[in-house]
Structure formats: C-alpha cells, structure tokens
Amino acid sequence: MATERGNISEGTAIIALTRNGAIMARKVAMALQQDSTLFVDRRFHEDGDSGNTFDLPLRPVIEHAFNTYSNIIVFLSVGATIRILSPLLKTKQVDPAVVCIDDAGNFCVSLISGHVGGADRLAEEVASCIGARAVVTSASHASGTLAVDLLGREFGWRTEADSTTITRASAAVINGQSVGIWQGAGESDWWPQDKPLPDNISVYPTLEDLAASACNVALVITDNADPLDMLLADKIAVVYRPRSLMVGMGCRRGVPVEELESLLTQTFQENKLSLRSIGGLVQPRLNEVSQDWNSWRNVTMWIYPFSKQIN
C-alpha cells in the first residue's frame, strides 16, 4: 500500500540472500498482482530471473529498497532486519511496508507499517503464496474490529483529525468503549455486509442522535463543512471526507487558475461543503482546460460527456 512518501515507487522489492529464499522469492514475484522487483544474491541467480543481483553486504540493498519502494518483502530474520532498518525509520505515515519471512518459509511477519502502510495485508497475501502463516500483531487487525485510521481509505476518503485524536479514538475502539458512527455521504460498504459490527460500535440515523448519545467516540462521514466542535464537544471526534462531490466548471481559455480556485472556494463556503470531498472536476470542452487546473489538488479532471479523463 502506498504511504505519504512523495514520488516513491508504488512497487514491491523482494529481497533474498539464500537459496531457499530465492526459490520462494521467485514464487512470490510471480504471484503478486502489483509491480515487483526481485533482488537475489548473485550466488543464487538463475538465467530466467528478471530483476537485480547483488553481492553481500546486504545492508545497502535493503537501504536502497527502503528509500525507493512502498513495499519490501525480505527473506531474513526479524532481528537482522530491525538492526538494518532501525536508523532509517521515521513514522508509520511515510515508512514502507516491510514483511519478513524466515528461510524455511514458515512465517510471514508484518514488521513495519503493518497497519497504515499495508504490511498486515501484504503478509497475509505473501503467506498464501508460499503456504506460510501470517504473523500480524496490529490490535485492530488481530481483534477483527474497525480501524479508525483506515476507514474508507480504499475509497479515497480523507481523515480530518490530528494523530493524537486518531490514537485516542483507535484505543477506544480496541478497548471496547462506546463508539458511534453517522454517515451523511460517501460509499456505504465500508464494512463487510456479512460481518456484524463489533458490539461497542453503533450507527446512528442522524448526526443529532449521535451527538445526544453517550458514545465516547464519534466517527462522522460527511461532505458538509459545518463545524462540529460544539456539537460533539464531549466526544473524541474524527471526521471523514468521502470523495462524494463532482464539480462542473466552464471558463474561457487563459483564465488564471487562481480565479477558478477562488470562485470554487467561495461557492463551497456559501454552501457549507468541504473542498476535501471533491471527487472530480468536469469541464465541457477540452480546449478550455488549463494545464495548471488539471493538476489542482490532485483531483481527477473529466471532459463532459465523460469521453476523456485528463488525470
């Protein structure tokens, strides 16, 4: 899974320095759906291998992968991997997902960025490839409950809360405290339909019902920009912004992007809508689109009647 790492590759580095590791690494590289690059010790390279060979020491190889790829699968002990990676670690928001596999292929350990970075899911995927057991210790994953910081991520939802608030809300969910959810916009299938919500989590029909409840935590899914500080003052509140709004704008060629942005911001403020919930911008004709406007806030640009996607 991609993390907030700028231009870092979305791909996966698969690193093996033993004969058994190289055999399993090839199997994983073939099975993974995402782009992967194989790094194999030169001693165990085979003619059919695509990727890279290396000579020991291993540290430069892993350091390169850490700074280049979003995911790392390394056939190495947990202890050795930690010793190599420890000087490089920053935060779970930017560190790549790291999965360690023992040389016998018995265990796939989600080691770094398991929750946010996606190593938990990657460990399970790799384990299924080689017949190993995934070792996942993230609390929400292990207990099968809702992950506050991942809710709606697969749909592109954005979270509005500082890290301390998210940590407190996550702790409340894991510890069985009362949690309330209200949804006013966005995709509704954020929880598996065939799996009941944990007993401590309730969905409320209105925001007012949630505010009046005795819940310790309020998770609010909305594209409305009304302030919630007063309404939810007695709760740990996390707001999610689904990409639920499509914006249509037309203009003459050459109109400054700043003017368009000002108009859009004013319109959203007047209608109490969040700019972070914009899912796409629609223009009526291609020749009206400014290149600067195309990349505005990394929002997808469409040409009506949806015959062309710009970015």
Res. 291 pLDDT band, cuts 50 70 90: low
Q: pLDDT digit string (tens) for 154-184?
A: 999 999 999 899 999 999 999 999 999 999 9
Looking at the predicted structure, is the pLDDT value of residue 1 above 50? no
Which neighbouring-strand residues pair with 202? 180
Res. 254 pLDDT band, cuts 50 70 90: confident
**Topology (CATH level 3) of domain 148-241:** 3.40.1390
Quote the pTM value: 0.76
Measured distance CA(112)–CA(110) in Å, rounded: 6
For the chain, where do the domains classified as CATH 3.40.1390.40 start and end?
148-241
Element (H, E) at 101: strand 97-101
pLDDT at 225: 94
Looking at the predicted structure, is the pLDDT value of residue 150 above 80? yes
Q: What are phi and psi of 261, to 5 degrees?
A: -65, -40
**What integer is the mean pLDDT of 26-36?**
85
Looking at the predicted structure, is the pLDDT value of residue 221 above 60? yes
**Topology (CATH level 3) of domain 9-137:** Rossmann fold (3.40.50)
For the chain, where do the domains classified as CATH 3.40.50.11220 start and end?
9-137
Average pLDDT, the chain: 88
Looking at the predicted structure, is the pLDDT value of residue 280 above 80? yes
Comparison of pLDDT for 259 and 125, the residue scoring more: 125
Measured distance CA(131)–CA(308) in Å, rounded: 43
**What integer is the mean pLDDT of 242-263?**
82
